[in-house]
Structure 1
Amino acid sequence: MSQFVTTQTELLLPRPEFPRPDWERSDWNNLNGEWSFQFDSQDQGRSEQWFSADARAFDSIITVPFSWASPLSGIGSSEKGIAWYRRQISWQPAVAAANVFLRFGAVDYACEVWVNGIAVGSHTGGYGNFEFDVTSVWNYEGDNLIAVRTEDFEHDYQARGKQGYGEIRGIWQPVWLESRPGSFIRSTRFNTAIDGTVSTRSLISAAQAGQATLEFSFGDGAVSHKETLTLAEGDNTVEITFKVGDPQLWSPESPYLYEGHISLDSGSGEDRVSSYFGIREISTALAEDRSYRWITLNGKPVYLNGTLDQSFHPTGYFTYPTDQEMHDEIYLMKKLGLNFVRIHIKPEEPRKLYWADMLGILVMEDMPCFWGEPGEQARASYESEAREIMERDYNHPSIFSWVMYNETWGLKTNSSESSLTSQEGAANNYLPDTQEWVRRMYHWAKDQDPTRIIEDNSPCNYDHVESDINTWHFYINGYEQLQEHVNHVVENTYAGSSFNYIGGNTQSDAPLMNSECGNVWGIEGGAGDSDLSWHYRYMMNEFRRHDKMCGFVFTEFRDVINEFNGYYRLDGSDKQFGYEWYVPGMSLADLHSPDFIVIDAPPCETVKSGQQLSVKLSGSSFSDRYHGQSLTLQWELWHDNLGIRMTSDSGSASIEWNGYGVKPLLPLAVTMPAFDALAVLAIRLLAPDGTIITRNFITFDVRSGAAQGRYNTDGQWTSLPVGSFTEQQWDYSWSALEDHKINGTGSGSFTYEIALPDTATLQQVSHVELVFEASAKRLLAYNKEKLGYKKHDISYMHGAKADPEYNLNSYPMTGTNRQESRLRIAIDGVEIESVLLTNDPADSRGALSWHYQTEPNKLHEAGSYGYLVKAVIPSTLAANINRNRSFKLELRAEDGGLALYGRNAGRYPIDLLVCYL
């Protein structure tokens, strides 16, 4: 996949593809590329007529369609205010004298446009597309000068969304010219039903009254419908219904699209628009005898595995550098097994929605918020943007939900004149009048689009008013804390409950769904750049325990500039979750399977060796693919015994897989190994043909109680705490995880004096082997400077940059950026082994580093782990060791540092072991 690298060829004509594949005419001209550019801080451009041919030359060149704040624009300025664009173009439509339209994908925030010195129109609003008919001023035989004045002052009333990561100033989506005949189709809405009925509503602009033919031709002949119309001069609304035989339904698993065209044949020529539609129905339904609803797709329950997408890029900001990258975004989501995405507080670019349609992922699209108070101007601005967004994106089958507001942003009144203390809702300044406006907008959206789920406000303050889905946000770390919270939400979700609602409003039987979750803000000071895999697995497991829950939105798809908890890095590189170490072949997709095995147990539990346990299981099904079939549950209890994989218990059971929802299964009886071990209960659910449907696991820290530990190995052993070194030489060194881990950075060493048992206990030693867990050690800024936590404030939501190296909770998750270190092992000054420690990793494999965290809301090198190192002491040194009954062990690292993991850290439940034969 691309890593946000834009080639020189692409820079010559960035984004060369047609911007609206859902509404495409063949005769067009791309205006992306180089334009003259000039800031206008004194607002003198109008008076000096910068739109005219003889105006002053502009100082700069900008690359359209990138925001002037972004690197790809070539300007890269954070300046707000007024800026001008100019470009000269010669273009003639393929059909002589056809009408010419100048189209803009989006301009933030207000703009005025001139062609050949004549004003052709203006637009206000940062997210909607718009166009101007420039036929009357267009020079068909020569050059044309296009001038655009843009204005973005970040007014509080502007519907801005979450632009703080990178401002979308000025032109930030493609610009193009398009030809049309005198009579043309302005728009067509498709409403589909799963029986194949397609209802359309077209807006047709007629140059003159008379008859015309409107034809729908889609799906390689599956749709061929033609009607004769009588049009009045001007705009005409035409409603036509047709039926598709043997309809192929659209879904994430099978994203079938009916591609084709709509054509209008009138006296002024043919207008032909390429488009597509998908046949699908989104709804909610009572589930069998339950008193609550589930979300349904095409009449069947669907579990929504989703992620929050900020759609931010380091070079283009909110404008994708290439179409390929939009394709890759959707591909990478589906690679994770996700079936839906929430586009956060902004509408998505049409081409990315096109790829969501084509590749198959459901989209929850947010309306952009404003950040001031909900006054008259802010409301008018918001309502105008909402109309444009819904009109533009209506036909995308991928969009299943509109979110009108997010976390009450822009809905709070902070003015002292509002007499807050006497009004309901005063606790968070979300006033009754504003609540009623939100209700009106909810009903307005339902009236505009009855085919989709409408959410009033995606809440973090438990303040719904009226909604088709009952969602909530939470950011909580720690298994017990998360479980308690989710249980509380589920138990208080029922028709008539006032929980999660404000102003005396109560819940309906609307589906329960999480719309933001993660551990990024569940940590004091934020999670920094840390492992998310451990938390993620038990969170997914907890969600699937609950029959009421219909899905989740994980924050977030990619890292951004102050939140580093994405599935992927900002550059698109992978993070390693490490699940395959526990269950071969397991990946994130296993946690997103519509058919899932819930393990009702903590992610790790301390138990005694030989202990017998009963583990509760449930089956969770949100697909009828295997209903009525006998599936096989396979399980294995295994552990890594000093580098040897050993199974201590295993079995299988047949499960009749019937019906939707969560159903208890027979518990598993397992017996722990007789030794100290990190035991893994790995489970697999298999289809009748042997296909693995899903995988899951939990772990156990098995403790023998023996002072030196008990391990399944020949001979005897001595165990030394890793913190018992007698000497250390490092620039920076420290202990972690309550002294069960020691760290040294750069070059240096830890030295140990190791004593063997006396001859009464241990006779001649013929074989001595060292066994320990070690990794490289990267030095982070906070390791040196020990800075305190930065208090969360609204600046994070506006994109305040954060350096995770200064966050006390940071320990970068395993990924492509590796830290190597060469470890040299010496006995009594003689080097006996050299080992390359390939990384300083942290992910789910660091189970003990997670299990022994002391506080759930603070992370201390969480998830960190090392590699099992074994070194045999040469027989040439054995004589001295036997004679002295002791030796000096030096562990020296070159450049990359060294971390040593003790009994309660990393992934091996050992200290520094000296094994004897």
Structure 2
Amino acid sequence: MQDNMNYPRPQLRREQYTTLNGYWDYAFSINKEIDDYDGKILVPFPPESQKSGVERILLPGNYLHYRCTFHLTKHSHQRLLLHFEAVDEYCEVFINDHLVGSHHGGYLPFSFDITNDIAEGENEIKVVVEDDTDYGNHARGKQRLHHEGMYYTPVSGIWQTVWYEWVDEQYIKDVVFRPDLQKQGIHIEVSTIGELEDVEVIIHQPDSKDSTTYHIPVCQQAFITLEDIQLWAPDHPVLYDVELIYGHDHVESYFGMRTFSQVEIKGHHYMALNGKPIFHFGLLDQGYYHETLMTPPNDEAIIKDLKFVKSLGFNTIRKHVKIENSRYYYYCDQLGILVMQDMVNGGERYDDHFVTLEPNLFPSLQSKRDDHNYALMKRPDSNNRTEYYREVKETIAHLKHIVSIDTWVAFNEGWGQFDSKEVTNYIKKLDPERFVDSASGWFDRGAGDFLSIHNYFRPLHLKSSQRIIMLSEFGGMNYQINNHFYGKKNYGYKRLSSRKDFMIAYRKLMIRDIMKNIPHGLAGCIYTQLSDIEDEANGLITYDRQVVKCDEEIMRGIAQRIYGLFEREVEHE
């Protein structure tokens, strides 16, 4: 049992839960059935990682087997829910040798009600996993079997927390909050399993012992007016704690009062938070760690990264082609960091000349690519395109409650891009209250809220646009620290040999591409990147998080200068 402050699902916390993280039996095989297990693996770290104790890649067509036992005392009139936060890529789950379900997709959580399959006392879980990585066409992010450069060691199997909880037969399944600043209140919809018709809602006033109790109907949207509203923003990340009571089920949740909108000032278009233009000054965050790959070592590692981002003066993270565990986003909400969330890319193996070299050498060709040409864009499989839509829907449903996410990024640099106008419209229908970056980097079809630019090799010159102009990737300057480099071959752009040289180059880049373009409508920028990763030595901190490669005080000063220039530019005449 653990304290619910570390509950894997912060938006819906109960008093008790049990994690199954720890040592499981594991085996690799070429057949679905095995005679015995190979050894022990430390869950939830993927077998490819050092921390797992295995350090072996699951090959396409092969199988990865897990087994663990746990002891239960049955609870009458309660259900037992088994949760997997993420398993890459396809898995089947067995309880006491009975198949309870399967799941396809390596980045999203899923659950099974296993009440009818458990026994009093000793119980056994088996999980059988398959993963094609980049030899299939499913969502895979930056994983590649033969990894180098900007692609990384693949991750397979269980790579996020496994846990279970007892719930009453009538219980709360989900809650969605939608702030409404115009009406000065919050829309709440509570989904339940059961026959009770209403739920008790207790909203706690931030930084106060005061609370107010309401009763609202279940499974339909209700509106609650709030007094003395405190707004959420990066410099004031206020969250409201909430209790929800449905029969005997008691859960805790939270929300933030904020709204996102687009404003036009002096002919330029900007993102606005709570009605005020805000410059998105951020870092690209891939979410990889030296010993644990895509799995954060612990909560402290997440918090350390995010506090580092804030300490340098940044207010935004672009979460790059990866979905983190729920606690990561909870800390973004708590610390006040805006998140631009990428959808995870898939499709067949990409032609790097087509999606990387040609767009950089011949930028005028970018908008001329037709993303309805499915073969050219590496999405020829109609079932795979349908799968992408499903995963978009599930991603938004999973993360819609996150206060800090203000942008969905549909496609990155043409990686499996298709029908971007149609996809953008689909996302907008699912979530009309956030921004959509339709095509980050290139192959822009004129859809979405952004003219989204990637620029690493030449001075930035902006053209006028009726959309928000976002420099969604730039920088990537390479500064390798000896004894803290863990790649095979140093990969990156402009190479620098000292912190002093790095800071001089960084300042010049910020003046040339950011400060000089703010008067021309630049609304935000995302520097590449937070940390080094394997071959990439272009982070502001090393892959092992041991060495900060920049001068933090100078970084903060540059950030404040950028915010000041932007604020003066967007002042109303």
- Secondary structure of the residue aligned to 2:393 is helix
**Aligned pairs for 1:15-164 within 5 A:** 17-45=6-34, 56-80=35-59, 81-92=62-73, 96-139=76-119, 141-154=120-133, 155-164=135-144
- 2:533 aligned to which of 537, 556, 560: 560
What secondary structure sits across from 1:389 in the alignment?
A: helix
- Relative to structure 1, the CA distance from residue 119 to residue 305 in structure 2 (aligned partners, 3 Å threshold; closer, same or farther) is same
Q: Is the 8 A contact 2:81 2:111 kept in 1?
A: yes
Match of 1:323 among 299, 306, 313: 299
Q: CA deviation at 1:225?
A: 4.0
Is 2:171 the partner of 1:184? yes
Q: 1:260 to 1:213 in 2, by over 3 A?
A: closer
Query: Is the 8 Å Cα contact of residues 35 and 86 (structure 1) preserved in structure 2?
Result: yes
Given the alignment, which residue of 439, 455, 459 partners 2:421? 439
- Structure 1 residue identity aligned to 2:172: I
Alignment deviations for residues 722-777 of structure 1 (CA, whole Å, 9 cap, x no partner): xxxxxxxxxxxxxxxxxxxxxxxxxxxxxxxxxxxxxxxxxxxxxxxxxxxxxxxx
Compute the displacement of 1:521 (Å): 8.6
- CA distance in 2 between partners of 1:330 and 1:659 (Å): 28
Higher CA-based Rg: 1
| Cα gap change, 1:660 to 1:71, in 2 (>3 Å) | same
Partner of 2:475: 518
Q: Distance in 2 between matches of 1:146 and 1:592?
A: 50
CA distance in 1: counterparts of 2:45 and 2:472, whole angstroms:
30
1:23 counterpart letter in structure 2: L
Secondary structure (helix, strand or coil) at the match of 1:379 reads helix
**Alignment deviations for residues 106-151 of structure 1 (CA, whole Å, 9 cap, x no partner):** 0000111111121111111011100000011122x31111111111
Identity %: 29
Letter in 1 for 2:239: L
Cα pair 2:80 2:167 within 8 Å, conserved: yes
1:571 aligns with 2:541: no
Q: CA deviation at 1:360?
A: 1.0
8 Å Cα contact 1:204-1:238 kept in structure 2: no
Report the Cα distance in structure 1 between the residues aligned to 2:5 and 2:118, rounded to whole angstroms: 23
Paired residues of 1:67 and 1:167 also in contact (CA < 8 A): no
CA distance in 1, matches of 2:84, 2:164: 9
Give 2:353's aligned residue: none
Residue 472 of structure 2 aligns to which amino acid in structure 1? S
Q: How far apart are 1:21 and its partner, in Å?
A: 1.5
CA distance in structure 1 between the aligned counterparts of 2:492 and 2:314, rounded to whole angstroms: 29
Secondary structure (helix, strand or coil) at the match of 1:591 reads: helix
Aligned position for 1:538: 508
Select which of 620, 633, 636 maps to 2:565: 620
Aligned 1:384-783 pairs, distance under 5 A? 384-411=390-417, 434=418, 437-459=419-441, 461-476=442-457, 481-482=458-459, 486-487=460-461, 490=462, 492-494=463-465, 509-520=466-477, 526-528=493-495, 530=497, 531-542=501-512, 543-545=514-516, 546-547=518-519, 548-577=521-550, 586-593=553-560, 620-622=565-567, 660=570
**Which SS does the other structure have where 2:41 is aligned?**
strand
Asked whether the 8 Å contact 1:120–1:132 carries over to 2, the reply is yes
Q: Per-residue deviation at 1:407?
A: 0.4
SS in 1 for 2:201: strand
Give, in angstroms, the shift of residue 336 of structure 1: 0.3
Q: How does 1:150-229 map to 2 (within 5 A)?
A: 150-154=129-133, 155-164=135-144, 165-195=152-182, 196-206=184-194, 209-219=195-205, 224-227=212-215, 229=217
Indicate the SS of the match to 1:191: strand
CA distance in 2, matches of 1:318, 1:222: 41
Of 302, 311, 316 in structure 1, the residue corresponding to residue 278 of structure 2 is 302
Aligned-partner residue type, residue 34 of structure 1: Y
Partner Cα separation in structure 2 for residue 59 and residue 525 of structure 1: 39
Matched residue type, 1:86: R
Task: Sort the Cα spacing of 1:594 and 1:90 in 2 relative to 1 into closer, same or farther, 3 A.
Answer: farther
Q: Deviations over 1:818-864 (max 9, x none)?
A: xxxxxxxxxxxxxxxxxxxxxxxxxxxxxxxxxxxxxxxxxxxxxxx
Note if 1:351 corresponds to 2:324: no
Does residue 313 in structure 1 map to residue 292 in structure 2? Answer: no
Tell me how far apart the structure 1 counterparts of residues 200 and 254 of structure 2 sit (CA, whole Å).
16
> CA deviation digits over 1:289-347, x for unaligned, max 9?
x2221111111011111010111101110000111001111100001000001011112
Q: Contact (CA 8 Å) 2:279, 2:523: kept in 1 or not?
A: yes
**1:506-549 CA distance string (max 9 Å, x none):** xxx22111000015499998445645322221222231223201
Aligned equivalents of 2:64, 2:315: Cα separation in 1: 41
Q: In structure 2, the residue corresponding to 1:72 is in which secondary structure?
A: coil
How many angstroms does 1:560 deviate by?
Answer: 1.4
Change in Cα spacing, 1:528 to 1:260, as seen in structure 2 (3 Å) is: same
Residues 574 and 194 of structure 1, relative CA distance in 2, 3 Å threshold: farther
Please name the residue that 2:371 is paired with.
none
401-410 or 18-27, which moves further after superposition? Answer: 18-27
Distance 2:238 2:310 in 1: 16
How has the CA–CA distance of structure 1 residues 214 and 238 changed in structure 2, closer, same or farther, with 3 Å as cutoff? farther
Letter in 1 for 2:42: T
TM-score, L = length of structure 2: 0.84
TM-score normalised to structure 1 length: 0.53
User: What whole-Å deviation, never above 9, does each CA across 1:457-479 have from its counterpart, x for those lacking one?
Assistant: 102x3524301122100102xxx
User: Quick check: 1:271 aligned with 2:249?
Assistant: yes
Q: Is the 8 A contact 2:289 2:543 kept in 1?
A: yes
Q: Which amino acid aligns with 1:125?
A: G
Residues of 1 paired with 2:504 and 2:445: CA distance? 31
Structure-2 change in CA distance of 1:307 and 1:588 (3 Å): same
CA–CA separation in structure 1 for the residues paired with 2:545 and 2:216:
51
Q: 1:225 to 1:451 in 2, by over 3 A?
A: farther
CA offsets 1:857-914 (integer angstroms, 9 cap, x no match): xxxxxxxxxxxxxxxxxxxxxxxxxxxxxxxxxxxxxxxxxxxxxxxxxxxxxxxxxx
1:241 to 196, 207, 223: 223
Instruction: Report the Cα offset of residue 203 of structure 1.
Output: 2.0
**Contact in 1 for aligned 2:199/2:244 (Cα 8 Å):** no
Work out whether residues 100 and 179 of structure 1, in 8 Å CA contact, stay in contact via their aligned partners in 2.
yes
Secondary structure in structure 1 of the residue aligned to 2:557? helix
Taking the aligned partners of 1:285 and 1:65, their CA distance within structure 2 comes to 44
CA distance in 2, matches of 1:393, 1:213: 23
Query: Residue 574 and residue 71 in structure 1: after superposition, are their counterparts in 2 closer, same or farther (change >3 A)?
Result: closer
Aligned match of 1:694: none
How many residues of Structure 1 are paired with residues of Structure 2 in the alignment? 512
Deviation at 1:228, TM superposition (A): 5.4
The amino acid of 1:440's aligned partner reads E
SS in 1 for 2:126: strand
Residue deviations 1:472-513, cap 9 Å, x none? 00102xxxx52xxx22xx2x222xxxxxxxxxxxxxx22111
Distance across 1 between alignment mates of 2:5 and 2:39: 22
Whether contact under 8 Å (2:478, 2:538) holds in the other structure is no
State the secondary structure of the residue aligned to 1:471: strand
Q: Residues 384 and 92 from structure 1, CA distance in 2 versus in 1: closer, same or farther, beyond 3 angstroms?
A: farther
Residues of 2 paired with 1:76 and 1:577: CA distance?
A: 32
Would you say the 8 A contact 2:203–2:240 is kept in 1?
no
* Residue aligning to 1:257: 239
Indicate if the aligned counterparts of 1:61 and 1:74 stay in contact, CA closer than 8 A. yes
Partners of 2:221 and 2:477 lie apart in 1 by: 49
Q: Which consecutive residues of structure 1, in runs of 5 or more, have no partner in the other structure?
A: 1-12, 46-55, 230-235, 412-433, 495-508, 580-585, 597-618, 623-657, 664-917
On the 8 A contact 2:58/2:64 being kept in 1, the answer is: no
